[in-house]
């Protein structure tokens, strides 16, 4: 197995206008995606964020320190070639949204879920035009098809870069409603993350915290916050 690793070969990363938005060049050479597609970014702000990540590399290139570039690559190489499939997968969360599945007991948990989750369902009804109904227990009970169609149409309307970020917002939180709330600034992003972790926080209060679980939760939280930032960058101009 080869120990070869890509190393920094450029002096400067620059943002330049492109036919499809903005591109990033390394000493005049355009950056491409892993699939060898042109890395065209939709906004200048996103392009500057990508350029900053390349400029920050020292010695061996570390993709783990380039989250904006990584998400942009995914938007171009993965989402763009299967936009409808990704949108459908995320829209399906609406029929089993985290916020709709409520505990039967204990009373304090039931009340806490209602206090934090009901306002978000109300927000979705008012802003998204989609009223999802809560259910008690874990058995699936379908939501109104017209409501799901409304949410599906909104999901399909997202562009490739928005959808790439939206994928992580929804999958990490388990909630289509919270994903949309993050994209529309309904609440502070960290507050939305905490809302999605209500059940886990309750369990930790009852049984004590697990260091491994807490560490994993922090990784997921960072990814959720990054996804929210990426969605914003995709709309900056």
Co-location of 216 and 136 in the same domain: yes
Domain total of the chain: 2
Q: How far is CA 215 from CA 150, 161, 210, 211, in A?
A: 36, 28, 9, 6
Listed in sequence order, the residues at least 6 apart from 205 whose beta carbon sits closer than 8 Å to its beta carbon are none
- Lowest-confidence segment of 19-28, 70-79, 145-154 by average pLDDT: 19-28
Co-location of 196 and 127 in the same domain: yes
Alpha-carbon distance 134 to 177, whole Å?
A: 13
The string of pLDDT tens digits covering residues 173-220 is 999 999 999 999 999 999 999 999 999 999 999 888 888 989 999 999
Residue 7 banded pLDDT, cuts 50, 70, 90: confident
Give the structural domain span for 60. Answer: 13-66
Q: How far is CA 36 from CA 45, 77, 146, in A?
A: 23, 9, 41
Supply the CATH number for residue 57's domain.
Answer: 3.30.2180.10
The string of pLDDT tens digits covering residues 124-144 is 999 999 999 999 977 889 999
- Lowest-confidence segment of 57-66, 77-86, 87-96, 220-229 by average pLDDT: 57-66
Alpha-carbon distance 120 to 99, whole Å?
A: 8
Co-location of 118 and 185 in the same domain: yes
pTM for the predicted model, two decimal places? 0.94
Supply the CATH number for residue 213's domain.
Answer: 1.10.3580.10
Co-location of 127 and 196 in the same domain: yes
Co-location of 137 and 25 in the same domain: no
Q: What is the largest CA-CA distance in the chain?
A: 63
Alpha-carbon distance 45 to 32, whole Å?
A: 18
């Amino acid at each position: 197995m080869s120990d070869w690793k890509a190393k920094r070969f450029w002096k400067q990363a620059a943002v330049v206008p492109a036919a499809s938005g903005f591109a990033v060049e390394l000493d005049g050479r355009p950056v491409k995606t892993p699939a060898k597609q042109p890395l065209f970014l939709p906004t200048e702000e996103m392009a500057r964020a990508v350029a900053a990540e390349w400029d920050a590399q020292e010695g061996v290139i570390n993709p783990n320190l380039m989250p904006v570039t990584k998400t942009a690559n995914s938007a171009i190489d993965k989402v763009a070639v299967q936009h409808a499939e990704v949108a459908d997968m995320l829209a399906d969360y609406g029929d089993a949204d985290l916020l709709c599945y409520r505990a039967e007991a204990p009373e304090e948990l039931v009340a806490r879920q209602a206090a934090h989750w009901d306002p978000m369902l109300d927000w979705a009804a008012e802003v998204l035009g989609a009223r999802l109904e809560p259910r008690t227990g874990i058995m699936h009970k379908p939501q109104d098809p017209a409501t799901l169609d409304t949410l599906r149409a909104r999901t399909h309307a997202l562009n490739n870069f928005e959808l790439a970020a939206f994928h992580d917002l929804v999958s990490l939180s388990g909630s289509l409603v919270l994903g949309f709330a993050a994209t529309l600034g309904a609440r502070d992003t960290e507050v939305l993350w905490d809302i999605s972790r209500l059940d886990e926080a309750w369990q930790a209060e009852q049984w004590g915290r697990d260091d491994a679980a807490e560490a994993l939760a922090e990784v997921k939280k960072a990814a959720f916050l990054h996804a929210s930032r990426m969605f914003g960058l995709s709309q900056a101009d």
